[in-house]
Amino acid sequence: QITLKESGPTLVKPTQTLTLTCTFSGFSLSTSGVGVGWIRQPPGKALEWLALIYWDDDERYSPSLESRLTITKDTSKNQVVLTMTNMDPVDTATYYCAHGIVTTILGAGYFDYWGQGTLVTVSS
Amino acid sequence: SYELTQPPSVSVSPGQTARITCSADALPKQNAYWYQQKPGQAPVLVIYKDSERPSGIPERFSGSSSGTTITLTISGVQAEDEADYYCQSVDSSGTWVFGGGTKLTVL
């Protein structure tokens, strides 16, 4: 059974760096064709893909946020960490991590299991 | 940048067929995926690779693709299908993208 859970601060101040941890079970991030991604959703708004790390250490980022994001993995701990720098109130959102299945050489795929999400509020 | 465009809302009566479209702004179109999200819950995958249905998803959910348009069809809509639906794909550079979402209202 695959499960994922996000953890991190619920409140951050503007200009601070956000660090979120996704702790998962039921799969290994060293298995070919597997990835873990981060997606966020501002209150009342649409899903926005942020980043993905693949089993082979390849990383992909949203072009609009790439300069602020870093995704890393610790396979031994079954964790994926996302850092986002220079937080702003517009970054207030529920942040999800999800298990990804890669279906093409290009690295395309989908998310078949999601964490429950964690609401992060950016405010002074 | 690659964009997926969905109608903001679709309304149907119970038992009718709902069709939600997702238009990609460029070719080639990669496979598309659909997620259902109910209020306060995480998204759930309902269609993958344009038309495949994960185990546990009712048969009334189906997907199709034509040109740059992907369609999610829900046949015999039930009240429990009321939710937001998001399409997702990947562009030619490997960037994952979500559509803007469609709110399905069951009248």
Which pLDDT belongs to residue B42? 98
Decide: B42 and A41 in contact? Cβ < 8 Å. Answer: no
DSSP A29-58: TTSTTEEEEEEEE-TTS--EEEEEEETTS-
Which pLDDT belongs to residue B30? 78
Q: Do B88 and A49 touch (CB under 8 A)?
A: yes
Tell me, yes or no, if B95 comes closer than 8 A to chain A by beta carbon: yes
| Between A23 and B91, residue with greater pLDDT | A23
Q: What average pLDDT score do residues A39-54 get?
A: 97
Which pLDDT belongs to residue B29? 67
Is the pLDDT score of A119 beyond 90? yes
Tell me, yes or no, if B2 comes closer than 8 A to chain A by beta carbon: no
The Cα–Cα gap between B19 and B10 comes to 8
Q: What is residue B18's DSSP assignment?
A: E
Residues of A in contact with B97 (CB under 8 A): 49
Is the pLDDT score of A13 beyond 90? yes
Which pLDDT belongs to residue B27? 61
CA torsion, ordered B24, B62, A52, A34, to nearest 10 deg = -140
Residues of B in contact with A46 (CB under 8 A): 86, 98-101
- Count each helix (H run) and each strand (E run) in chain A, helices first: 0, 11
- Looking at chain A, the whole-number percentage of residues with pLDDT higher than 70 is 100
Tell me, yes or no, if B30 comes closer than 8 A to chain A by beta carbon: yes
Which pLDDT belongs to residue A86? 97
For A43, counting Cβ atoms within 10 Å of its Cβ (0-12 exposed, 13-18 middle, 19+ buried), the class is exposed
Interface residue of A110, A111, A113, A119 to substitute, partner B, most B CBs within 10 Å: A110
Interface residue of A48, A96, A111 to substitute, partner B, most B CBs within 10 Å: A111
Which pLDDT belongs to residue A101? 95
Interface residue of A47, A95, A119 to substitute, partner B, most B CBs within 10 Å: A47
Residues of B in contact with A102 (CB under 8 A): none
At A88-108, the pLDDT tens digits run 999 999 999 999 999 887 788
Q: What average pLDDT score do residues A2-26 get?
A: 98
Q: Do B45 and A112 touch (CB under 8 A)?
A: yes
Q: Which residues of chain B have pLDDT under 50?
A: none
Residue that has been written with the tokens 């279906």 in this structure: A103
When the pLDDT of each residue in chain A is averaged and rounded to a whole number, the result is 96
Q: Do B42 and A114 touch (CB under 8 A)?
A: yes
